[in-house]
């Protein structure tokens, strides 16, 4: 074993032996990441030895220089002679130590105790709250600039967003509204049939759709569809410094990116809501017909049950929901971090925030309408 | 049918296209073992595209790429992994995974493809980052360091598994002269110690002459390879005036174009 000849058939495992009280480091065997972990023998000095004995070193990949570098770093001096190392290895070690370690850089980005984590969380939450308020404020200012004709954005962008959150949303809104209409009618019919009041299914579906379900369903679909798209788009723009590029051209990123989206969604939400109401009523009617209510009768009952006030309540709410979804989507996108994961996070937060906002707003409206007795 | 090529990388009759737009045609060259092979040419002439063909991210419109005589192009997808495992690639933009720290970026391939203990992986990561002059920046995210540092971290990641062949897309663009010089040293050292082969896209004339053992010039005008050979030889003796002018920064051809 001691006299193993270099280049013998089976490579020997890597071994590092400190000799002569740590003044000589003897490196042996095949240092390779497929080889077993290196065997360390002798007491390691705090730093590197004066001399290396590499006569029995067979072959090495990065594991050997990595091992040496870890020891050199402990010694904290940058100039070693690396006596006895093969030329290439010495060259690599000198390269690795050529640029002094940025010691103040190490460890500073995160170093976590729980108290610190709590503090950071508090600061983050506080910052997020302030950012939300600032964003809402800026939205209003931006709308103001738009009203006096001083907001710049590209008409083409506006049309694209308009199409994306209007026409392209029609199929999914239709499907969901139709199914909701069906469900309402089914559930209503089972209960009302007990009193022989089948016909009132028409009232039930009409009022539920027009006051609540139409606008609510549309808002939830648009949160998942358009709010998420806004967040992902603006988030990746932020990650790529595209927003900074707008800013350096003297363009207001807010007017340029947020305003067209806000306007488009606020314009489209009411239209989608009316559409959703109609399709939902149609769905209800289908159930009505299937349980034997004549279509004409059903239709008349529906028309009689809806007053102009009832019908306008849903549409009125839809403006606010649209604004909430657009603001939530754009805000999380614009404030996203600079990584791909941050874009994903922003999208998630946009959807959660907009659905929460929509439901909270809706409860608020319900309370107000009850007080006003509408 | 000609005998299979024997070089490390052989490109035969390669045509590259995006749809009907032909970027380069009739490319034919060999990269030898331990070569430092330079791909050069004007901006937008298809250097990155060629690299993407060599590493299998795009399929040739015609022609084949061989590694050690085995066809990479004809290999079924399952076999390609065997080839790809030997590659290390640095992309033009760095392409670091932005949600991982620099250390995690370099460690990921080591964790996925080796059984090394965590401590050894940490030492290797720190060694690779030291080689590119980034010691101490282990815990930084790509968005927290400069473009040149991103690029160098990309090189460290490409080297993570001590690959057989390293593909570097404009490694020295955006580096200061000293870092660029260190990078040249590093490439030579790695070639000599690990026997790696390098394929490098670069415009850096100093570095082309310092490290390049062979160079391929892609000619935008003819949409094919302009010349191939050792860079110093091409500079002084190439038959193509475009190549000479490129390698002399346009200086020797200036008098010719004037009456
Ligand atoms: N994904 C793509 N689709 C279509 N054309 C592309 C694509 N990527 C690059 N190109 C075209 O191919 C040519 C070569 O690009 P590239 O290889 O990136 O150039 P470079 O030599 O600067 O690296 C350019 O003309 C570019 O327009
Ligand atoms: Mg390129």
Q: Which of A28-32, A99-103, B250-254 has the lowest mean pLDDT?
A: B250-254
Q: Which chain B residue lies closest to A92 (C-alpha atoms)? A: B189
Rg for chain A (alpha carbons), in Å? 35
CA B92 to ligand 2 center in whole angstroms? 6
Q: How far is A341 from chain B (nearest CA, A)?
A: 6
Nearest Cα residue to atom 2 of ligand 1: B18
Question: In the prediction, which pLDDT does B258 show?
Answer: 40
Sign of CA dihedral A26, A30, A33, A37: negative
Q: Is the pLDDT of residue A108 over 60?
A: no
Is the CB of B137 less than 8 angstroms away from the CB of A105?
Answer: yes
Confidence label for A2 from pLDDT (cuts 50, 70 and 90): very low
Chain A residues closer than 8 Å to B194 by CB: 61
Residue of A nearest to B185 (CA): A95
A259-290 and A170-194 are packed helices; what angle lies between their axes, rounded to 10 degrees? 40
Report d(CA A327, CA A143) in Å as an integer.
12
Q: What is the pLDDT of residues A147-168, one digit of tens each?
A: 998 888 888 889 999 999 999 9
Are the C-beta atoms of B48 and B218 separated by less than 8 Å?
A: no
Distance CA B67, CA B31 (A): 9
Residue of B nearest to A97 (CA): B130
Q: Cα(B170) to centroid of ligand 2, in Å?
A: 7
Ligand 2 center to B191 CA (angstroms) = 24
- pLDDT higher than threshold 60 for residue A106: no
Nearest-CB residue to B127 (from A65, A87, A91): A65
Nearest ligand, measured from the Cα of B52: 1
Could you give the CA distance from residue A34 to residue B210 in angstroms, rounded to a whole number?
34
Mean pLDDT of all residues in A331-348: 90
pLDDT in tens, A246-302: 887 778 888 899 999 999 999 999 999 999 999 999 999 999 999 989 999 999 999
**What value does the mean pLDDT of chain A take?**
87
User: Is A107 in Cβ contact with B98 (below 8 Å)?
Assistant: no
Measured at the alpha carbon of residue A311, what is the angle toward residues A308 and A316, in degrees to the nearest 5? 110
Grade residue A45 by pLDDT with cuts at 50, 70 and 90: confident
Contact B123 A69 (CB under 8 A): yes
Candidates B186, B126, B105; CA nearest to A105 is B126
Say what the pLDDT of residue A3 is: 37
User: Has residue A7 got a pLDDT over 50?
Assistant: no
Reported confidence tier of residue A76, pLDDT bands at 50, 70, 90: low
- Predicted pLDDT of residue A107: 52
CA B201, B207, B213, B216: dihedral to nearest 10 degrees? 40
Would you state the pLDDT for residue B169?
92
In whole angstroms, what is the distance from residue B151 CA to residue B132 CA? 10
Give the contacts of B14 (CB within 8 A, at least 6 positions apart): B24, B25, B26, B27, B28, B53, B60, B62, B63, B64, B65
The best mutation among B43, B48, B51, B219 to test binding of ligand 1, ranked by most ligand atoms within 8 Å of the C-beta, falls on: B48
User: What integer pLDDT is reported at residue A103 of this predicted model?
Assistant: 64
**Angle in degrees, CA A194, A198, A200, rounded to 5:** 115
Q: Looking at beta carbons, which residues of chain A come within 8 Å of B192?
A: 87-88, 91
Residues with CB under 6 A from ligand 1: B 18, 23, 43-49
Tokens linked to A106: 């190490």
pLDDT (0 to 100) of residue B225? 87
pLDDT of B103 reads: 94
Write the DSSP assignment of B58-118 as a string of letters: S--SEEEEEETTEESSSS-HHHHHHHHTTEEEEBTTB---TTS-HHHHHHHHHHHH----H
| Chain A interface test: which of B124, B162, B186 (most A C-beta within 10 Å) | B124
Cα B174 to chain centroid distance, Å, stands at 16
Q: Please tell me which residue, A107 or B234, carries the higher pLDDT value.
A: B234
Q: What is the ipTM of this complex?
A: 0.79
**CA–CA dist A185, A302 (Å, integer):** 12
Supply the pLDDT for residue A6: 47
When pLDDT is averaged across residues A187-211 and rounded to a whole number, the result is 91
* Ramachandran sector of residue B168 (left: φ over 0; alpha: ψ -120 to 50; beta: rest): beta
CB A61 to CB B97 under 8 A? no
H-run or E-run covering B254? helix B254-257
Q: Mean pLDDT per 10-residue run, chain B (259 residues)?
A: 75 92 92 93 90 91 92 88 88 87 92 88 93 90 88 91 92 85 88 89 90 92 88 87 85 48
Q: Has residue A69 got a pLDDT over 90? A: no
- Chain A: give the shortest CA distance to residue B195, in Å: 10
Work out which ligand 1 atom sits closest to the CA atom of B42.
21
Nearest to B183 by CA among B213, B160, B149, B214: B149
Query: In chain B, what is the straight-line distance between the N-terminal and C-terminal CA atoms, in Å?
Result: 49
Q: Give the residue carrying structure tokens 């007080």.
A: A371
DSSP H or E run through A15? strand A15-19
A102 touches chain B (CB under 8 A): yes
Instruction: Looking at the complex, report in whole angstroms how far the Cα of residue B182 sits from the nearest Cα belonging to chain A.
Output: 8
% of chain A exceeding 90 in pLDDT: 48
Distance from CA of A175 to the nearest CA of B (A): 38
Which of B98, B88, B55 is CA-nearest to residue B155? Answer: B88
Query: What sign for the dihedral angle of Cα A90, A91, A93, A99?
Result: positive
């Amino acid at each position: 074993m001691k006299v193993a000849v270099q280049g013998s058939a089976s490579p020997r495992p890597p071994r590092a032996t400190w000799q002569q009280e740590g003044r000589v480091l003897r490196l042996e065997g095949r240092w390779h990441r497929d080889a077993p972990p290196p065997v360390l023998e002798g007491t390691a000095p705090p730093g590197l030895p004066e001399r290396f004995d590499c006569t029995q070193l067979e072959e090495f990949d990065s594991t050997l220089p990595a091992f040496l570098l870890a020891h050199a770093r402990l010694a904290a001096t940058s100039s070693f002679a690396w006596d006895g190392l093969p030329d290439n290895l010495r060259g690599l070690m000198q390269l690795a130590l050529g640029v002094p370690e940025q010691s103040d850089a190490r460890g500073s980005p995160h170093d976590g105790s729980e108290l610190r984590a709590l503090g950071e969380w508090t600061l983050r939450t506080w910052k997020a709250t302030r950012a939300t308020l600032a964003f809402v404020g800026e939205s209003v200012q931006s709308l103001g600039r738009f009203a006096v004709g001083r907001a710049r954005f590209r008409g083409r962008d506006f049309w694209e967003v308009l199409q994306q959150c209007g026409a392209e949303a029609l199929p999914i809104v239709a499907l969901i509204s139709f199914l909701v209409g069906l469900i309402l009618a089914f559930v209503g019919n089972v209960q009302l049939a007990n009193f022989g009041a089948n016909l009132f299914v028409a009232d039930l579906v009409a009022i539920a759709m027009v006051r609540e379900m139409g606008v609510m369903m549309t808002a939830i679909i648009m949160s998942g569809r358009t709010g998420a798209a806004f967040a992902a788009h603006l988030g990746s723009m932020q990650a790529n410094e595209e927003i900074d590029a707008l800013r350096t051209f003297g363009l207001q990123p807010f007017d340029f990116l947020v305003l067209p989206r806000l306007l488009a969604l606020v314009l489209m939400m009411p239209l989608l809501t009316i559409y959703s109401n109609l399709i939902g009523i149609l769905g209800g009617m289908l159930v009505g017909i299937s349980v034997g209510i004549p279509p004409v009768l059903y239709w008349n009952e529906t028309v009689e049950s809806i007053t102009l006030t009832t019908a306008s309540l849903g549409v009125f709410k839809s403006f606010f929901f649209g604004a909430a979804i657009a603001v939530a989507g754009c805000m999380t996108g614009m404030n996203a971090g600079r990584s791909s994961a941050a874009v994903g996070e922003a999208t998630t937060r946009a959807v959660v925030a907009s659905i929460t906002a929509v439901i909270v707003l809706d409860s608020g409206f319900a309370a107000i309408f009850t007080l006003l007795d509408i | 049918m000609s005998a299979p090529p024997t070089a490390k990388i052989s490109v035969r009759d390669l045509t590259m296209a995006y749809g009907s737009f032909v970027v380069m045609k009739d490319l034919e060259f060999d990269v030898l073992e331990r070569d430092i092979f330079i791909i050069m040419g004007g901006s937008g002439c298809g250097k990155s595209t060629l690299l993407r063909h060599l590493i299998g991210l795009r399929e040739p419109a015609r022609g084949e790429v061989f590694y050690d005589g085995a066809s990479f192009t004809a290999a079924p997808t399952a076999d390609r992994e065997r080839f790809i495992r030997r590659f290390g690639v640095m992309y033009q933009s760095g392409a670091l995974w932005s949600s991982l720290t620099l250390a995690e970026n370099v460690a990921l391939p080591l964790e996925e493809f080796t059984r090394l203990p965590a401590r050894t992986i940490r030492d290797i990561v720190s060694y690779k980052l030291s080689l590119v002059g980034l010691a101490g920046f282990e815990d930084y995210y790509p968005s927290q360091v400069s473009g040149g540092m991103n690029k160098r971290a990309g090189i460290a990641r490409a080297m993570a598994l001590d690959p057989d062949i390293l593909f570097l897309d404009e490694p020295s663009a955006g580096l200061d002269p000293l870092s660029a010089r260190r990078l040249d040293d590093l490439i030579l050292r790695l070639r000599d110690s690990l026997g790696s082969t390098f394929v490098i896209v670069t415009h850096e004339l100093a570095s082309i002459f310092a490290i390049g053992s062979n160079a391929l010039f892609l000619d935008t005008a003819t949409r094919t390879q302009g010349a191939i050979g050792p860079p110093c030889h091409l500079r002084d003796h190439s038959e193509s005036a475009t190549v000479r002018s490129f390698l002399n920064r346009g200086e020797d051809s200036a008098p010719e174009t004037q009456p």
